[in-house]
Amino acid sequence: MHIINVEPSPNDSVAVQMETSNQFPEITAAREAFSSGKTLPIEFRRRQLSNLQKMLHDEKSCEKIYTALHKDMRKSRFESFVSEVCFVRHEVQFQLMNLKKFTSPEKLSRNFLTLTNSAQIRSEPHGLTLELFRRFLDNNCYHVFLGDVERTKALLTNRFDYIFFTGSTNVGRIIMQTAAKHLTPVTLELGGKSPVYIHESGCIRRTVKRIIFAKCHNMGQVCVGADFLICTKRNDSLMEDEIFGPILPIVTVSSADEAIHFLRSLERPLALYIFSRNKKITQRVLDSVPSGGVMVNELLLHISDLRVPFGGTGMSGMGRYHGKYSFDTFSHKRAVVTSGLSYLSEKFIDPRYPPATSFNFAIANFYYSAMNYFPLRFQIT
């Protein structure tokens, strides 16, 4: 679980703050670091990302990752390298390459109503991220908490700026209830049963090959892994007898309409997979069945594409991340509007003042009618 730290609430009692300080001194350290402004400069963020990248290229660190994954679930070095190390390297490099662009204020165009105003959107951090690997990251700003359910509950009694949680739907409900106490925003990635619909127009041989690879990936422990198959009855014996009987449940249907009806009766999954060469069928499923994400004629690979968001909907979660969407998730989009004080700027807005003459009505009507059609880019001070 990843948690973003926050300033203490003005209403928090001194006793509660002292208890928090004693039980979780790391939170106090992170809070003080954030209050000092240490984490705000771009160079600090760039340095932390660069250090994280160094960790992912450090042989000893990678060896520890490979050993832990093999001990935990017998994961091979190659799979650990591709799905864990390379994946995170790619994400970190993307953030490093775009950090200046992401953190720069977004300047907005003018219209007739805002002719004398300048406006921009600033991306400001929610707070501090509690992360891992003290050897590479700032020890005051990044922390890891290990413990049982009771320690996690105790941790969540603290007020945070943002909570990012990956896990089950049941625990997600607890996280959301806890966050609601302080109106803390959350991102919940909760998984769910991700279905694979195989239309009769698909290439069965390639479809089977790709499904088996995805199902065996990470020893099957993938939040967007295939949970069950839906296929027409004429495919049933091939799927069940030769390949998927002991691995995946199979639901047989007589038509695409029946498959869509069945999928719509389920909770919204984190991922939906469609195997079909028929573009009309693919489009019908896309239009009819909601899900966190969709992949057509493939599985899993969409989560490594940093151009698109990753996240759930309904019971599979809320919020999105990866690539630019990760930066946006952990940023508050702060609006900043500046009005000019010159003679011209005052005359431009003069019709708003009493008396409400017919001329003022006409000017106001013109402003509002024209403002969406003529974006303007210049400065009046």
Predicted local confidence at residue 17, as pLDDT:
45
Range name among 14-23, 124-133, 283-292 with the lowest pLDDT average = 14-23
Predicted local confidence at residue 264, as pLDDT:
95
The whole-number average pLDDT for the span 276-304 is 94
User: Could you report the per-residue pLDDT of 230-265, keeping only the tens digit for each?
Assistant: 998 766 444 444 333 346 888 999 999 999 999 999
Predicted local confidence at residue 139, as pLDDT:
82
- Report yes or no: 76 and 119 within 8 Å, Cβ to Cβ: no
User: Could you report the per-residue pLDDT of 71-83, keeping only the tens digit for each?
Assistant: 988 889 998 998 8
Strands 186-189, 317-318: pairing is antiparallel
The whole-number average pLDDT for the span 348-367 is 88
Question: Across the chain, how many H-helices and E-strands are there?
Answer: 15, 12
Class of domain 194-316: alpha beta
Strands 160-166, 2-5: pairing is antiparallel
CB-count exposure of residue 99 (10 Å: 0-12, 13-18, 19+): middle
State the span(s) of the chain assigned CATH 3.40.309.10.
194-316
Report H helices in 198-292: 204-216, 236-237, 256-264, 279-288
The residue among 162, 144, 127 whose CA lies nearest residue 26 is 144
Tell me the CA end-to-end span of the chain in Å, nearest whole number: 48
Predicted local confidence at residue 245, as pLDDT:
37
The side-by-side arrangement of strands in the sheet containing 2-5 is 2-5, 160-166, 186-189, 317-318
User: Could you report the per-residue pLDDT of 89-128, keeping only the tens digit for each?
Assistant: 999 999 999 999 999 988 887 766 666 777 888 888 876 5
Q: Say yes or no to pLDDT of 131 above 70.
A: no
User: Could you report the per-residue pLDDT of 161-192, keeping only the tens digit for each?
Assistant: 899 999 888 889 989 998 999 899 999 999 77
User: Could you report the per-residue pLDDT of 314-338, keeping only the tens digit for each?
Assistant: 999 999 999 999 999 999 999 998 8
The pTM assigned to this predicted structure is 0.80
Range name among 8-17, 228-237, 350-359 with the lowest pLDDT average = 8-17
Predicted local confidence at residue 109, as pLDDT:
77
State the span(s) of the chain assigned CATH 3.40.605.10.
2-104+122-190+326-331
Beta bridge partners of 332: 124
Structure-token pair, residue 317: 């979660």
Asked if the 2-104+122-190+326-331 domain carries CATH number 3.10.20.600, the reply is no
The residues assigned a catalytic role are 189
Residue 107 has phi, psi (to 5 degrees) of -80, 135
Which has more confidence, 341 or 234?
341
Q: Say yes or no to pLDDT of 38 above 50.
A: yes
The residue among 228, 213, 221 whose CA lies nearest residue 269 is 228
Handedness of CA 230, 235, 241, 243 (dihedral sign): negative
Predicted local confidence at residue 235, as pLDDT:
67
